[in-house]
Structures are given as C-alpha cells and as structure tokens.
Amino acid sequence: MNQIEKNEQFDVEALKRRLTEGGAPPSNAESSPGEAPTLNPLARRIAQQFSEHSRTPNIVIGQFRLFEFTSLLAIGLAAGAVVGYAGAVDFLLRTLLLILGAGLTVIALQALDLYQISALRAPSVNLKRIIAAWALSSAVLAGLFHLTGKLAIYDAKHLGFWLGGAGAFLLVERFLFAIGVRHWGRNGLMERRAVVVGGGQGAKDLIRALEQQPDNDIRICGIFDDRNSDRSPNIVAGYPKLGTVSELVEFARLARIDMLIVALPLSAEGRIMDLIRKLWVLPVDIRLAAHANRLRFRPRSYSHIGAVPMLDIFDKPIRDWDSVAKRVFDIFFSVVALMLLWPIFIGTAIAIKKNSKGPVFFMQKRHGFNNEVINVFKFRSMYTDLCDPTAKQAVTKGDPRVTPVGRFIRKTSIDELPQLFNVLRGELSLVGPRPHAISAQSGDLKFADVAEGYFARHRVKPGVTGWAQINGWRGEVDNSDKIRFRTAFDLYYIENWSLLFDLKILFLTPIRLLKTENAY
C-alpha cells in the first residue's frame, strides 16, 4: 500500500502548524479552568491516585547507565589502590584509561540493546549478550594498550583485577536491578500513565493489544468518551469510562498523565480534529492508535508500544533528560544571578520601605505549569492599600496606584527579580512563557478567550523572561493583538526549545530590557 503523503486525508504536520501558529479566532472547544466541568467522584478519586510522579523508563535507563559507568570506574580505582600507584602521573594515566574502559563497556552494552527495559527485566535471557559486551570492550581496551605501548604503564595485575571484578559486578548488579525493575513495575513507580480517548470496540481492541505486549509499561488510567452509554459502554475491557473529553482536560491536570491515546479510526477525521483541539493544551504525549488502520504513514510518523503502532500527533515538550538539563541550567544561573545581584536586592528593599508603608515583597497568584496556580514573588511597586493581587485592572501609563520607586523598578524589571526564588523552588524556570495573573484580561475578555491555544503556553514551566519579552511583547496589554502575539511567540519557543535557545534569551534579556516604553 502506498504511504500517505502530506497533502492527503489526515495531515499531521498541517494540524500541528494550525494549532501552534496561533492568531486564529478562539474555539469554543477550549474552556478556561474556571469553566471546566466538575469531575464525578470516581474520576476525581482515580486522579488523586495518580497525583504523584512516576519514574519514566527513559530517566531510569539514563540513571542506570550513569550508575554502571561510575561503578566500573570506582572498581578500577579500588583495584589500583590495592596494586599501588607509582606517583601522581601514573595515577592520572591509569584513571584516564579506566574512564576509557568504563565508557567502552557502556557503549558495547548500548550497542547490543542491553539498556532496553525488556533486557533489564530479564538478564538471564540476555546473559550471553552481557558477557559478549564485556568481553568486547575488554578486548578493545587491551588491544589499545598493546598497540600504544601503554600496557607497561597500566599494570597487568591492575588490569586483571579490574576486568575480573568489574565483570562479576556487571552480572550480579544486573540480576539485582532486574528485581528492582519488576518491583517498580508492579507498584506503579515506573510506568507511563495513559488515558484512552474514545470507547466502544476500537478502545477494547486497543487495550487488549496493549495487554498482550510482554514488555508493556503502559498503565491505563481510564477511558473518556463524549458518546452516551448506548454507543460507548461504561466499562470497556475492564476499565471504567470516567467522563467526557472536556472532563478529561481537568482530569489530566489533577493526575500525572503521560499519554493520551485516541482510539478512533482515521476515517473519523473531523472528530479527531475536534478532540485534538481540546487536548493539545495538555503537557502530554498525544498518540493516535494505528493498529486497526490499513493506511500506512511514513515510518518516522510512528512510535510503538511493543508491537502496537501509534501515530505521533504531539510530544510532551521538554521531557525526561531535557527537563533535568533545564533544571540544572535554572539552578546554576539563578544562584549566579543571586550572587551578583544581591546589592540590588538590598537597595531596592530599602528604597521601597522608605518610599511607602507596607511590605517589601508582593505575592500574586499566577498560572504555572499544567495550569496549576502558584504564588509568584515580586518587589512591591504599588501603594499597599491599592495593590491588585488579581491583576484584573492592568497597570497603565501614569497609573496613580504605582509608587515613585515602583515606576522605576517596573520600567527596569527589577520588580521581577524575586522570582529567582520561585525558580529555586521549582515553580518557575528562568526562561519560558511569562506567567500571567489568574484574572488577567484584555478589555472585558480573559486572555484565554482572546488567543486560541492560550493554555498551551502552560505545557512547560513559565519563566522569569521569555522569547516574547525579548521581542518587545512586554508591559501593558491594552488590545487583543498583544496577547495573541505573546501567545504565538510563546508557542514558538515551546516547539523550538533547546538549552542554546534558553541561553540566547537569557543573555539578550538585559539588553532588550533597556527598551522600556511599554513597561509602566
């Protein structure tokens, strides 16, 4: 069968462009959190059961790679300590060779697919491959020593102790780790939590296919479907139907869901489009079950759960090790900023206290990651009795509520500096879509009612600075176009994120903030 090309019936890339470009009239499919339907007691109880984070397989595998590398290196250093070193230079050379050997071992294990969850669960089945990986890396290392004449420096006794000890360690720790993997799987500590969208026979076939996969790490948390019980039974393959798709948005915000699987045929294109317009604002993977479809897309469009093919619609942004790297980035640069800017913090606090009565800091409720409400710190820039925690009335030029000191710190964005503490607490990122107050409005309309895809900004942590801000979209929002442009820039950032992009935004921020005509 011919592959479907981009201009044919179900165009995934066109759908992504349509949703992420923004600027289109708002859809009534997307409701604000205040208008979200109330979950029924069963759905709320199940959501609470899944409110804690689980360990994703990618994170566990990455941590295990690092553990094996450091353990092999430590065994080599211990063996060297037993044999003895001939001075500092000898110690340094041997350590470098040990790093090389440990790295070669990890590479060999990776090349033989021994870091797959299936291999980690059953080391006895893969015993020959584990031994082969260790023998291969050992042979390569020994050959390199021989060819470079370094074997005399890297003592043969030391090499023998290390190869024997590290080989035994690999076998023992892999069997012990397999026990841990199986335990985490049984207790829900290492899984991908999924919700099936759409009921009936299609959902039943999908669930049965997933259950038949020997290495399935998917935990089905429930089924959501807009159809009534006549067309979509309340129990499908033993799983309850927990509500409608609109209720799913609220469910996914309460539970720690990793994936939404749409169990509808591709022929139901219109219904699929409507579903995705509602669901893409969530920070989850969105997949379209393709096991029952006869049409075939290009292979790069698919992912698989075991042998069950899924058509990739949206991926959760900044996930797994990317999120770890971004968190390290945030902590490092926040600490550096606090070390450099503490005189400004003290000077600003003194100026605020001398200029007007009241506290130095002002706390405001704003929307954070996954639409959670967070308390954001700011230096107080308004008179205490005129402060507006809801931000329902935007600050305008010459606003009498703003103190003289407040005008300066708002223009220079010094009032935002305390948000570095929010970053250290993990509520904000240094770079990301700016968090807006929960009641922020453009005219008489809430931001979500003005810009389509507004809540998709919350698929990542909000930031102290962002791509929209350094492109001039900061300050007063006095017309609908401003919030639409901000949303479009924020969605662009999410779709194109990288650490280098964050670094660029971070270093451009002080330069672009010199342009203050929109900040009051």
Running DSSP on this structure, what letter comes out for residue 435?
A: P
Decide the pairing of beta strands 235-236 and 259-262. Answer: unpaired
Output the pLDDT for position 36: 55
Percentage of residues in the chain having pLDDT higher than 90: 21
Amino acid at 185: G
Q: How far apart are the first and last CA of the chain?
A: 61
Distances (CA, A) of 426 to 337, 369, 374, 462, 481: 16, 10, 11, 10, 31
Output the pLDDT for position 480: 73
State the chain's mean pLDDT as an integer: 81
pLDDT higher at 165 or 303: 165
User: Which pairs with CB-CB distance under 8 Å and at least 24 residues apart come from 236-240?
Assistant: 236/196, 236/199, 236/200, 236/203, 236/204, 236/207, 237/203, 237/204, 237/207, 237/208, 237/211, 238/207, 239/196, 239/207, 240/42
C-beta separation of 118 from 214 below 8 A: yes
With bands split at pLDDT 50, 70 and 90, how would you rate the model's confidence at 33? very low
Predicted TM-score of the model (pTM): 0.78
Output the pLDDT for position 23: 41
Which domains, ranges and CATH numbers included, belong to the chain? 57-186 (no CATH), 191-316 (3.40.50.720), 321-512 (no CATH)
What 3 state SS string does 444-468 have?
CEEHHHHCCCHHHHHHCCCEEECHH
pLDDT higher at 195 or 308: 195
pLDDT digits 0-9 by tens, 106-116: 999 999 889 88
pLDDT digits 0-9 by tens, 192-249: 889 998 888 888 888 888 888 776 778 888 899 887 776 777 888 888 888 888 888 8
pLDDT higher at 448 or 199: 199
Highest mean pLDDT among 50-54, 146-150, 203-207, 212-216: 203-207
- Is residue 141 pLDDT above 80, yes or no? no
Highest mean pLDDT among 22-36, 376-390, 407-421: 407-421
- Is residue 501 pLDDT above 60, yes or no? yes
Q: Which residues contact residue 476 at a Cβ distance below 8 angstroms, ignoring those fewer than 6 apart?
A: 394, 395, 396, 397, 482, 518, 520
Output the pLDDT for position 28: 40
Q: Which residues contact residue 376 at a Cβ distance below 8 angstroms, ignoring those fewer than 6 apart?
A: 363, 364, 365, 366, 419, 422, 427, 428, 435
What backbone torsions phi and psi does residue 455 show, to the nearest 5 degrees? -70, -10
Alpha-carbon gap, residue 244 to 237, rounded angstroms: 18
What backbone torsions phi and psi does residue 411 show, to the nearest 5 degrees? -65, -35
Decide the pairing of beta strands 285-289 and 259-262. Answer: parallel
Query: If you compute the radius of gyration of the chain from its CA atoms, what whole number of angstroms results?
Result: 28
Highest mean pLDDT among 356-370, 431-445, 464-478: 356-370
Burial class (CB in 10 A: 0-12, 13-18, 19+), 516: middle
pLDDT digits 0-9 by tens, 338-348: 999 999 999 99
Q: Which is it for the CA torsion 62, 65, 68, 70, positive or negative?
A: negative
How many H helices and E strands in the chain?
Answer: 17, 14
C-beta separation of 460 from 282 below 8 A: no
- Is residue 54 pLDDT above 80, yes or no? no
Q: Which of 3-17, 86-100, 238-252 shows the lowest mean pLDDT across its residues? A: 3-17
C-beta separation of 341 from 414 below 8 A: no
Output the pLDDT for position 373: 87
- Is residue 357 pLDDT above 50, yes or no? yes
